[in-house]
């Protein structure tokens, strides 16, 4: 018993040193394939997925998110779903870099608007 307590402390310290935080995108990306999550974050005016999950896991949630990446690993389409219906969709346009220069936002009614993101 006395040996297991120091071992437990070492394991807990190791876990604290490497917190389990969600990744911003899947480890291996296949361009054009949708990826899903129940969380997202905003980076440089675009949405990025939280921890990747399969569709069955996120579909049972009230809200979930879908992202499609290009061959450079950039989000090109981001969809937000509510009860299985698209709440909004964003399509990102890049000028060759990693930051989008504009995005096209479509709401659930199908109304589109373009937002310039470059200064």
| pTM as predicted | 0.72
What residue ranges define each of the domains in the chain, with the CATH number in brackets?
A: 22-116 (2.40.128)
Q: Look at 20-29, 53-62, 85-94 and tell me which has the smallest mean pLDDT.
A: 20-29
pLDDT band at 57 (very low <50, low <70, confident <90, very high): confident
pLDDT of residue 110 exceeding 60: yes
Q: Quick one: pLDDT at residue 22? A: 43
Q: Give the model confidence (pLDDT) of 18-54 as tens digits.
A: 444 444 455 678 899 999 888 888 888 888 888 888 7
Rounded Cα distance between 94 and 53, Å, is 26
Q: Return the half-sphere exposure (C-beta side, CA atoms, 13 A cut-off) of residue 101.
A: 5
In sequence order, which residues have a C-beta less than 8 Å from that of residue 51 and are 6 or more positions away? 22, 23, 37, 39
Rounded Cα distance between 30 and 45, Å, is 23
């Amino acid at each position: 018993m006395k040996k297991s307590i120091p071992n437990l402390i070492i394991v807990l310290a190791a876990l604290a040193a490497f917190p389990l935080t969600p990744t911003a995108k899947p480890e291996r990306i296949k361009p054009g394939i949708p990826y899903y999550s129940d969380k997202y974050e905003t980076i440089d005016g675009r949405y990025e997925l939280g921890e990747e999950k399969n569709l069955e896991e996120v579909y049972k949630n009230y809200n979930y998110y879908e992202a499609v990446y290009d061959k450079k690993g950039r989000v090109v389409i981001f969809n937000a779903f509510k009860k299985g219906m698209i709440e909004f969709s964003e399509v990102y346009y890049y000028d060759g870099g990693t930051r989008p220069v504009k995005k096209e936002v479509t709401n659930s009614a199908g109304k589109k608007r373009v937002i310039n993101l470059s200064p």
